[in-house]
Amino acid sequence: MIKYALACAAGHAFEGWFGSSADYDDQSERGLLSCPVCGEARVSKQIMAPAVAGTKAQRGLDAPAAGREMFMEALQAVRAHVEDNFDYVGDSFAREARAIHDGRSEARGIYGEASPKEVKALVEDGVPVAPLPPAAPRKTELN
């Protein structure tokens, strides 16, 4: 079921429940909708915030904080995977990425450092590159 905020041409606001958005469109096109206050048949959907199931209290989580924490954990997992499985090429990254792309070097995953200018040139030339997520701060660096 979908709940829409509706309003008639006379300005009366009300809600309507429909089986689907297609049901609303069908009923509207056939003139089956009318204002429960004045009977006006010119009815339109209004801007409405989506309903989100659950609350912080029900989940027992602070959703924004939990989302940030999960996001940071995912970034660290990506970084760990790259560090464990790709070759570190240091400041030769741009040169090696281009050589791999051009077939002059063995195809493999690499990571390293590149200047913004080097990265821009790689992207413009169609060499697939992506920034590596930053390393997590050391516990001694945290407040």
Written as one string, the DSSP assignment of 103-126 is TSS----EEE---HHHHHHHHHTT
Closest CA to 40 of 9, 4, 6: 9
- pLDDT-derived band at 57, boundaries 50, 70, 90: low
| Token pair listed for 55 | 């609350």
3 state SS of 106: coil
Beta-bridged to residue 16, according to DSSP, are 4
- pLDDT-derived band at 58, boundaries 50, 70, 90: low
Give the pLDDT confidence of 74-132 residue by residue, as tens digits. 888 888 999 999 999 999 999 999 999 999 999 999 999 999 999 999 999 999 998 88
> Of the ranges 2-11, 17-26, 44-53, 112-121, which one carries the lowest mean pLDDT score?
44-53
What would the mean pLDDT of 64-74 be, rounded to a whole number?
78
Specify whether the CB–CB gap between 6 and 13 falls below 8 A. yes
CA gap 42, 15 in Å, rounded: 14
CA gap 54, 35 in Å, rounded: 31
- Domain range annotation of the chain: 2-45, 61-136
**pLDDT of 51 strictly over 70:** no
